[in-house]
């Protein structure tokens, strides 16, 4: 069966095939370019303790510029050795990669792909030799961060336990002194007691300072810093100073809502707080935050530290009551608001507005901060 082909039809067929091949070839050459197959490149090596899931074909960047690929991943010869990563980098960026350049592996956004980032060295260092090796920074994995946080918490626990033991011993000593025949006499008579007291004081000091250090470190560790921020353990005066928020406050004399020098709410106090909750429902916004500040006057009978403990307990009691009874810490579905409770003791915070200075010195102040933006 013979068919004859008019030239026009043959040309259409040949043209079609040519166009498709051209398109395919163009696409392929672009793909090859994107993988640095056609441009001149040079090789860089880096030794990583762990490569965090990096694979051949992952991208490499020089100072953030997309500049090459991971060409090869060479496992260490023996356990404990470093993983060698061979990178293929665009030759045009050769000048940027100096002998003191550093490589690090970073995760890229949503996709979670890994990228090797090369930080160029100082300009006075020599240009890295071809196939030269650069320093590598260890990979920080989120799991590492968590284990760090965990060990910090364990240290805190230990310090807290030590502090508690010290406190218990002090109490026992004080008790025995109180029951005994006078402090001076007993201390003078009992050498051993004096020793123990000294020891306890020293150990307590050490434990507390360790605790303080640990807490400070912990507050700056990422997943926990939020917790501390929320519970407002940070600088307490800062809580009262918020230049960008509107401040509304209600003041209650402490004697009206608490039993005298205790952190137990009276029925009258509960009624007052119920009334406050009603007021807040009308005046609060979802973005409002609450600070419950408890103050006391500087009574001669009261020690500074004890005053602070008392006011803290009182502020906590108010917070607990408002949260338990009125769910004040919830700001709608799936949203919570910060409710901080702080006992200031006899301290007068610097950020106190002039009006508040006229209020009674022994007072519970509930302040509503609403961001003005």
Partner 1 sequence: MYARALGLLDAVIDQAWFTVRSLAALPAALARRPGEVVWQFERVAVSGFGVTAAAGLCMGAAAWMQTYRMLAAHGAESTLPSFLAAAMLVEIGPLMAGLLVAARMGAGLAAELGTMVLNEEIDARGAFGVDVVASLVAPRAIACLAAVPLLTIVIDAGAIAGGLLAESAAGRMSPGLYWSKSLIFLKMTDVVLATFKTTVFGFLIATTACWTGLNTGRSTEDVGRAAIRGVVWSVTAVFVSNVLLIPIIQAAVATLGWRY
Pick from 40, 57, 123, 282: which binds partner 1 (CB under 8 A)? 57
Q: Using CB under 8 A, pick the residue from 11, 27, 285, 298 that binds partner 1.
A: 27
Give the residue from 326, 348, 230 showing the smallest Cα distance to 365.
348
Site string for partner 1, 95-134 (x = CB under 8 A): --------------xxx-----------------------
Name the residue nearer to partner 1 (CB basis): 115 or 315: 115
Q: Which residue has the tokens 């370019």?
A: 33
Q: Are strands 41-48 and 132-136 parallel, antiparallel or unpaired?
A: parallel
- What is the pattern of x (binds partner 1, CB under 8 A) and - over residues 208-237? ------------------------------
| Using rule CB under 8 A, residue 24 touches partner 1 | yes
Name the nearest CA neighbour of 359 among 348, 368, 371, 372: 348
Number of Cβ atoms within 10 Å of the Cβ of 339: 21
Widest CA span of the chain, in angstroms? 131
Helix/strand/coil percent split, the chain, to 5: 45, 25, 30
The piece of 28-36, 129-137, 312-320, 338-346 that touches partner 1 (CB under 8 A) is: 28-36
Query: Residue 32 interacts with partner 1 (CB under 8 A)?
Result: yes
Output 35 or 329, the one with its CB closest to partner 1. 35
Query: Residue 24 or 185: which CB sits closer to partner 1?
Result: 24
Single out the residue of 11, 38, 50, 56 in contact with partner 1 (rule: CB under 8 A): 56
Identify the three-state secondary structure at position 148: helix
Q: Are 297 and 336 in contact (CB under 8 A)?
A: no
By CB under 8 A, residue 1 contacts partner 1? yes
User: What mask of x and - would describe binding to partner 1 in positions 162 to 201, judged by CB under 8 A?
Assistant: ----------------------------------------
- Which range in 30-38, 165-173, 296-304, 321-329 contacts partner 1 by CB under 8 A? 30-38
Reduced 3-state DSSP string for 273-334: HHHHHHHHHHHCCCCCEEEEEEECCCCCCCCHHHHHHHHHHHHHHHHHHHHHHHCCCECCCC
Q: For residues 13 and 172, which CB has a smaller minimum distance to partner 1 in the complex?
A: 13
| Residue 364 buriedness (CB in 10 A; 0-12 / 13-18 / 19+) | buried
Per CB under 8 A, does 16 bind partner 1? yes
First to last CA, the chain: 84
| Chain residues that interact with partner 1, rule: CB under 8 A | 1-3, 5, 9-10, 12-13, 16-17, 20, 23-24, 27-28, 30-32, 34-35, 37, 56-57, 59, 109-111
């Amino acid at each position: 069966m013979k068919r004859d082909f008019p030239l026009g039809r043959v040309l259409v067929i040949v043209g079609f095939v040519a166009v498709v091949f051209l398109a395919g070839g163009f696409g392929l050459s672009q793909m090859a370019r994107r993988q640095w197959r056609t441009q001149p490149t040079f090789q860089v090596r880096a030794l990583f303790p762990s490569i965090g899931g990096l694979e051949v074909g992952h991208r490499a960047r020089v100072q953030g510029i997309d500049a090459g690929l991971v060409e090869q991943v060479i496992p260490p010869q023996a356990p404990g050795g470093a993983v060698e990563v061979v990178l293929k980098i665009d030759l045009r960026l050769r000048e940027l990669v100096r002998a003191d350049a550093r490589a690090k592996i970073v995760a890229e956004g949503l996709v979670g792909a890994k990228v090797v980032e090369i930080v160029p060295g100082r300009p006075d260092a020599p240009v890295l030799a071809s196939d030269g090796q650069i320093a590598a920074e260890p990979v920080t994995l989120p799991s590492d961060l968590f284990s760090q946080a965990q060990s910090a918490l364990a240290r805190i626990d230990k310090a807290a336990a030590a502090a508690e033991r010290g406190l218990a011993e002090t109490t026992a000593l004080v008790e025995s002194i109180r029951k005994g025949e006078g402090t001076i006499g007993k201390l003078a008579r009992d050498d051993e007691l004096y020793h123990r007291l000294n020891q306890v004081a020293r150990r307590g000091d050490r434990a507390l300072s360790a605790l303080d250090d640990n807490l400070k470190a912990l507050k700056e560790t990422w997943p926990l810093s939020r917790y501390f921020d929320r519970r407002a353990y940070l600088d307490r005066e800062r809580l009262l100073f918020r230049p960008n928020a509107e401040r509304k406050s209600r003041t209650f004399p402490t004697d009206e809502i608490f039993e005298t020098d205790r952190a137990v709410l009276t029925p009258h106090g509960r009624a007052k707080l119920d009334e406050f909750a009603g007021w807040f429902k009308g005046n609060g916004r979802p973005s409002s935050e609450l600070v419950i500040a408890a103050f006391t006057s500087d009574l001669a009978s009261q020690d500074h530290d004890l005053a602070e403990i008392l006011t803290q307990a009182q502020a906590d009691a108010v917070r607990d009551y408002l949260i338990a009874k009125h769910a004040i810490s919830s700001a709608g579905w799936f949203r919570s608001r910060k409710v901080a409770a702080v006992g200031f003791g006899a301290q007068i915070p610097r950020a106190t507005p002039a009006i508040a200075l006229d209020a009674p010195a022994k007072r519970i102040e509930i302040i509503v901060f609403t961001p003005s933006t």
